[in-house]
Structure 1
Amino acid sequence: MKPQRKVTEKSPKRGYLDGQMLIAMPGMRDERFSRSLIYICAHSSEGAMGIVVNHPAANISFPDLLVQLEVIPAADLIQLPGQVGAVKVLRGGPVETGRGFVLHSADFFIENSTLPIDEGICLTATLDILKAIARGKGPASAVLALGYAGWAPGQLETEIQENGWLNCNADSELIFGPDIDGKYEKALRKLGVNVGMLSSEAGHA
């Protein structure tokens, strides 16, 4: 699924989970999604696409990534605006892990590149947004995900029916909050669920 498609109006079919958070159940069979919190960017009869928002990418910072992608030369690192260092780099999912996807607030928009999702959250997957952030002209809130999670038609619905996922409403703290490790429990608390209540079927430490 290409996230570049422009959405002009929201579909009235709210059976789909666009703009919702998926919370992995402890019994999740796919290790790649263990204790994952996923923001769903697109969900339709054609499948689903989302970004894992609570798994940090190892050993790389956003400024380092700007240099690697040749958005800025290494010599300019010292001149970056202060807020650039606060942008978190996440492991967004197992699909296209070499590609960057920026989830961000709706105060930044690139015509034909930015996908508005829901409740003031957008997705942009072009270098232009990285350049804007590096100049201090980017969105007020942003996270950069390497890769994304994808589901074939009907696959996500089947996984939900098999108790693989819970879902809750998204909020900016769950997406952009600095406490990445605490997001999973925070999402469960929104549903009034304690992690310990879910752990009965998880027989491993």
Structure 2
Amino acid sequence: MLTMTEVSSLTGRLLVATPALADPNFDRAVVLLLDHDEEGSLGVVLNRPTPVGVGDVLEPWAGLAGAPQVVFQGGPVSLDSALGLAVVPGEPRDGEDAEPLGWRRVFGAIGLVDLEAPPELLAAELGSLRIFAGYAGWGPGQLEDELVEGAWYVVESEPGDVFSPDPDQLWRSVLRRQRSELAMVATYPDDPSLN
């Protein structure tokens, strides 16, 4: 049984789909966990770019979006809603407001952007921005069950993962950098039946 401390510690970590994960929504997915507690888990898939440009759906934010400047499919839930993740570099200084207006820190320098706020409020503060349509969600205990079943590898995230300029290679590159047998999984063929 996971303790609350262990559960909380998964926020900010990556879930990397194992080759055994059968759900097509998560085939070779890399999910950043934005929230994980006793009430459930919420994250976004980092490596599912869509052909839709940020300017096509959120024109005011297009100039702040990093390359590729497309909307990413954040998961199978609520595909008609948008979620913005952004980096605000640097640590808050004592005596100053901890966070810029329109941005809420999730972990480290990464936080959620209020896409209803005027982009000019954040333009000077943001280092990078990525827009996601939808999210991945798990009810209480559901993710823990999937972890026990071996559906996901849990690994540390790195600052560049969220804004990878080559999201199609993210699954392999995250696995390749692991200092364990997981590095070998990066060589797993796309279609094992062709082996």
TM-score (norm 2): 0.78
Q: CA deviation at 1:119?
A: 1.8
Quote the sequence identity (%): 27
Structure 2 stretches lacking a partner, 5+ long: 90-97
C-alpha distance in 1, partners of 2:184/2:168? 16
Residue 168 of structure 2 aligns to which amino acid in structure 1? D
Residue 112 of structure 2 aligns to which amino acid in structure 1? L
Backbone CA RMSD of aligned residues: 2.8
Instruction: Select the residue among 140, 143, 146 that pairs with 1:153.
Output: 140
SS in 2 for 1:194: helix
Q: CA deviation at 1:84?
A: 4.3
C-alpha distance in 1, partners of 2:135/2:186? 28
1:28 aligned onto 2:21: yes
Q: CA deviation at 1:174?
A: 1.1
The 5-angstrom pairing of residues 91-130 of structure 1 reads: 91-107=73-89, 109-111=99-101, 114-128=103-117
CA distances 1:131-190 after superposition (whole Å, capped 9, x unpaired): 338x84451111110000000000000001100000111112211120111111111023
SS in 2 for 1:93: coil
Residue 47 of structure 2 aligns to which amino acid in structure 1? N
Q: Report which of the two has the higher share of helix.
A: 1
Contact 1:39/1:51 (8 A) holds in 2: yes
Residue 164 of structure 1 aligns to which amino acid in structure 2? A
Contact 1:54/1:90 (8 A) holds in 2: yes
C-alpha distance in 2, partners of 1:41/1:26? 23
1:170 aligned onto 2:152: no
Aligned length: 178
Contact 2:65/2:128 (8 A) holds in 1: no
SS in 1 for 2:52: coil
Q: Report which of the two has the higher share of strand.
A: 2
Report the equivalent of 2:173.
Answer: 186
1:15 aligned onto 2:3: no
Structure 1 stretches lacking a partner, 5+ long: 1-11, 73-79
Aligned CA distance change for structure 1 residues 93 and 29 (closer, same or farther; 3 Å): same
TM-score (norm 1): 0.75
The 5-angstrom pairing of residues 3-82 of structure 1 reads: 13-16=5-8, 17-57=10-50, 59-67=51-59, 71=60, 81=63
